Amino acid sequence: MIKSFYLYLFIFASLIALVIYVNGRKYQEKLEDQVQSLRKELYETDQERKEALSFKEKSDFEDSVFSLKRNSDSEDYEINIELDASEIEDMVKFELLELNIKQGGNPLVPYEGQGSGFRITDTKFVNDRWVLARFTDNYRWGDLLVGYTVDQNKKVSVNTLQALLFDKNAD
């Protein structure tokens, strides 16, 4: 009787060990699948990051071509008026934004704006003579090519060279 008891106990323990082994194996396979999935996702994210960085590098290259700060030809201009590129940019931006507070909007924008008129919202310096400016009246928007000069007395003069209006309501 005791022999049969040990035999049944051995069979029962073997069955329990087999069930634990099968369940453990399934759990391990599930974890391996999750790890593979996460590795694949990480690889795709890494590729997207590399593409974004390469785009930023291209963008930096474009900035180096069209920029007051990185334009070696404008250094003579900066030396003559005894200012560096950052100071010139600040002075011109201030002048452009100061014109925004005029009644009827910024006078550099040759279009009639709705509400309080057109306002310049963003600028991009092309070189030591030109600025690209974005303008809007909250209904329509456009771009300006603004010419500027800074004289020896640090006085800024600006004028509109070209303007383009994007109107979503136009036919």
Reported as a single tens digit per residue, the pLDDT across 6-48 is 888 999 999 999 999 999 999 999 999 999 998 888 888 888 7
Collapse the DSSP code of 87 into the 3-class scheme (helix H, G, I; strand E, B; otherwise coil) and give the result. Answer: helix
pLDDT band of residue 146 (cuts 50, 70, 90) is very high
In sequence order, which residues have a C-beta less than 8 Å from that of residue 145 and are 6 or more positions away?
Answer: 130, 131, 132, 133, 160, 161, 162, 163
Alpha-carbon gap, residue 89 to 83, rounded angstroms? 10
pLDDT digits (tens, 9 = 90+) for 68-91: 666 666 665 666 677 777 888 888
| Total-model pTM | 0.56
Angle at the Cα of 89 (from 87 to 91), degrees rounded to 5? 70
Tell me the residue type at 91: M
